[in-house]
Amino acid sequence: MKKLMMSLCLCAIFLASGITLAACGEEPEPEKYTITLPTSSDYSVSSDKESAKAGEKITLTVTLLNQELNLGDIFANDILCKDNYDGTYSFTMPAENVTVRVKTSQIEEVLTTSFVWLDEDNLYTITPNGAETFEWHTRDINITFADKQAMTIIKDTITSSNHTVIPDEAITFTPVTDNDLHSASGSNQIVKGIIKINPFQINPGTTYLTMEFINGNNSYGSSNRGTLIVKITVVPYGELTFETVKEELVIDLFSELDYKTGDKFYLRICDNDHIDGSSNPSYTDYILTMESIRKLTVEFDYIMGHKYWFRLVEGETYPEIEQGYKEEFIFENNVVDGDEESEYTGYYNGYLMYLEANDRVTIDAERNPALEN
C-alpha cells in the first residue's frame, strides 16, 4: 500500500513540474521522423505524410515535368523506393529523418541498330487532325529491318514518354513483307514496318517514342532485337512549315500548235507529297501568258525532296474535274540530273523534281491526241 501511494505521489510531482510521461505505467509514444522532399523544375514530388514513425509505409507521387529526361530510381536516404508502376513509389520509414532523392537522366535518341533502323525521310514534327479535315491521314514513321531470311514474325512494344502528347493507344505497328512490296514475286519475310500515329488522339507538345522489336522466329542474340528511341514534336494543325526554294518551270509548246503571243493559259502546280496540317499550300494556281517563242514560264515555291505534278489548260478558268476527264496537254519526260527512280532534276512519269535551288526545267508539251477521239 505504501509503494502504491509513493508511485502516485511521484506521478503527481512529475506532472506538477511539467515533466511529461507517456502515462504512469504505459509505454512512451514512438518518435516521429521528418520527410524532406526535393524541389525541381524537372519533376514534382509529394508524400502522403510529412512525418512518420519507424515502420510506417510512405507513398510518394513523382511526376516528371521535363520531357527531355528519363525518370530513374527514387531514394529515401539510401533506401531504394519501390516502383508501384502507377506514378507512385513507396518505402518503409526508418528510425531516422529521411531526405528523398530523385535520379534523372537525359533521353538520348537511338535512330539505328544492327537489327532495325529508322528511314531517312521520316518526319518527326507532326500535327493533330484539323477540325475541318475529314480524311484520316495517319502520321507514319517508317523503319527497315536487317535482312533476316527467316523472320516472318515480329514482336513489338512501343511506348510514349508523354501520354498527354501521344498516348500509347494512339500508336499501332504494321509489319511490311517482301510480298507487300513486290506483289506475287516477293516472300512473306518481314523487311520493313510502319508505325502509325492516330492524329485524332494527339496534342501539341514533345514526347519520345521507345520502340522495341524482337525477331519472333529467333530472338536469341542482340542481332535479332533492337530498340529505337526518337523524339516526336506535335505542333498545332496548320503550324507545320517547310522551307521552300525558288524553282523555274518552262513549258515549250510545239510549233504545230495554233497559239499566238499573248494567249492565256491556266497552270495548277500541286505538291504530291503535301503534308496534312502544314501551312504550305497543297497547290498553287497561275495565269500564264504565251511568250513570243511559244514558251510559258513560271517561278514557284518548291519544297526540296517533294514531287510535284501539274495541269495546264487553255484559257483563264480551271476546269471541273469529273470522272473520265482528259488532260488537254501531255508532256515529255526530261530528266536533267539524278536518278529518276529516286531523286532527280527534271520531269519523269508525271512528276517534277529539283535537286538544287534556283534551277530550271524545260518540258515539251503537245495537245492530248485523245481529245480528237
CATH class of 245-372: mainly beta
Q: Higher model confidence: residue 185 or residue 124?
A: 124
Q: Give residue-wise pLDDT tens across range 8-18.
A: 444 444 444 44
Whose grid coordinates read 513549258?
A: 251
**Gap between the Cα atoms of 271 and 279, Å rounded:** 13
Task: Return the biggest CA–CA distance within the chain.
Answer: 137
- The one-letter amino acid at 224: N
Q: Is the pLDDT of residue 1 over 80?
A: no
Overall fold of domain 116-234:
Immunoglobulin-like (2.60.40)
- The one-letter amino acid at 221: G
Q: Give residue-wise pLDDT tens across range 250-267.
A: 999 876 677 888 899 999
Terminal-to-terminal C-alpha distance of the chain:
131
What stretch of H or E contains 13?
helix 2-16
Sheet order of strands, 205-215 included: 125-126, 225-234, 205-215, 154-160
Q: Is the pLDDT of residue 97 over 90?
A: yes
Q: Give residue-wise pLDDT tens across range 227-246.
A: 999 999 999 999 999 999 99
125-126 and 225-234 strand pairing: parallel
Instruction: Please work out, in degrees rounded to the nearest 5, the angle formed at the alpha carbon of residue 170 by the alpha carbons of 169 and 175.
Output: 95
